[in-house]
Amino acid sequence: MRIAAVVALALVLALGGVAAVLASRIDGVAMPQLNAEDEPQRANTGDAVYLFVGADSGIERAPTDVQSSTPEGQARADALVLVRLGDDGTASAVSLPRDLLSTNGYFGSIALALLDGPEVLMQSVCSTTGVAVDRYVSIDGAGFVDAIDALGGIEVDIEYPLRDAAAELTVDTAGTQQVDGVTALGLVRSRHAEQFVDGAWVAVSEDAGARQRALWSARVLDGVRSALSDADAASLASAVWSSSASLSLGGGLHPFELGRLARAELDIRELPAEKIGDGRALKMTEQSTSTLLEAGFRTDCALE
C-alpha cells in the first residue's frame, strides 16, 4: 500500500540531495534495542531489514466502519511489509497480515501495536516473527496517494476486475495496467472485494480478502520500485515534496543502500498464518517461520 510509496520517497530523499530541506517535514522515529548482544554479528552479514508501514491516519472512513475514528496523534497499521536487502543485491519482501496476534506482552494484533508508537510496533514484530528491524519507514494514506500520482501511477497485474465500495476500489478490466494513487490505496485496503469471474460478480471470502490485502501491499511496493526506475527528476521531486509531511523514518537514511533496493528485483511472499477460532485473529506457525527463513530473514530476534 502506501508502503510502496515509502520506498520511493526515501530513495528520492537520499539520491536527490534534498534531505536537509525536507527534514523539518519528516518525523524521526527512535529505534528500539533488539538483539543487543548479537548486533555486531548482524552488522557483519551485510543485510538490512526494513519495516514498511502504511498508517491509517489521513484516510476517511465510513461512520459504520468499526475503525472509523483514530485517537488524535495515533494511527493503526493498515499494511506491513518486511523487506530484506542482501549485500549480494538480492531483495525479498514478506507481507505481514495485520490481524497477526502480537506476543510482546499485550493482547492485540500487530496493526494495533502502532497505536502505542512505532517502537512498540517494531518490538511486536520482533517478538511475534523473530525478525529484527534495522530501518523503519511509514506513510499515511494521503501521502501515499500523492506520491503514486506524482510518479504517474504504478503498473500492477490484476487477475480479475474488482470492486469494493468500502475501500473506494473499482477496477473495470483485468490484466497488467497503470493505476493511480486512489486505486493503489484501495487495493491494499480492500477486505470485502468482489471479483468479476465468468460473467458474474463473486464475493471474496473474509479470509481470502485478508490474504489478498496483505499480498497487495508487497505487489504495490514492487510497482513503485519499478516506477522509480522510469521516473524523471521532476516527478521524483514532486513525489517527495507532496508526501514528505506524511513520512516517518527510523534507523537513518542510507543513500547507497536505498539505491540498491530500488534496483533490486523483489522476491515477494505472503506470510502464512493460522486462524484462531472464528474471529480474524491469526497466529504464527512453523510454516510462517519457514517462509521468513526461505526469504533470507533471521528469526532469532529477542526483546531486551
Q: At what angle do helices 118-129 and 286-294 cross, to 10 degrees?
A: 100
Mean pLDDT for back-to-back runs of 10 residues, the chain (304 residues)? 49 50 68 64 66 74 46 71 88 89 77 89 92 89 83 89 88 91 86 86 79 78 76 67 72 74 83 85 92 94 79
Dmax over CA atoms of the chain, in Å, equals 58
Count how many Cα atoms sit within 13 Å of the Cα of residue 5 in the half-sphere of its side chain: 38
Rounded (10°) angle between helices 141-150 and 2-16: 60
Q: With beta carbons less than 8 A apart as the criterion, state whether 141 and 2 touch.
A: yes
∠ Cα 11 262 247 (to 5°): 35
- The confidence score (pLDDT) of residue 15 equals 46
For residue 34, which phi and psi values (nearest 5 degrees)?
A: -125, 135
- The pLDDT value recorded for residue 168 is 86
How far apart, in whole angstroms, are the C-alpha atoms of residue 142 and residue 185? 9
Can you spell out the DSSP letters for the chain?
A: -HHHHHHHHHHHHHHHT-HHHHGGGSEEEPPP-BSGGGHHHHHHH--EEEEEEEE-TT----TTSTT----TT---EEEEEEEEE-TTS-EEEEEEPTTBBP-SSSSSBHHHHGGG-HHHHHHHHHHHH-PPPSEEEEEEHHHHHHHHHHTT-EEEEESS-EEEGGGTEEE-S-EEEEE-HHHHHHHHH-SS-EEEETTEEEEPPHHHHHHHHHHHHHHHHHHHHHHHHH--HHHHHHHHHHHGGGEEEES---HHHHHHHHHSPEEEEE---EE-TTSS-EE--HHHHHHHHHTT------B-
Q: How many C-beta neighbours within 10 Å does residue 63 have? A: 6
**What is the structure's pLDDT at 105?**
61
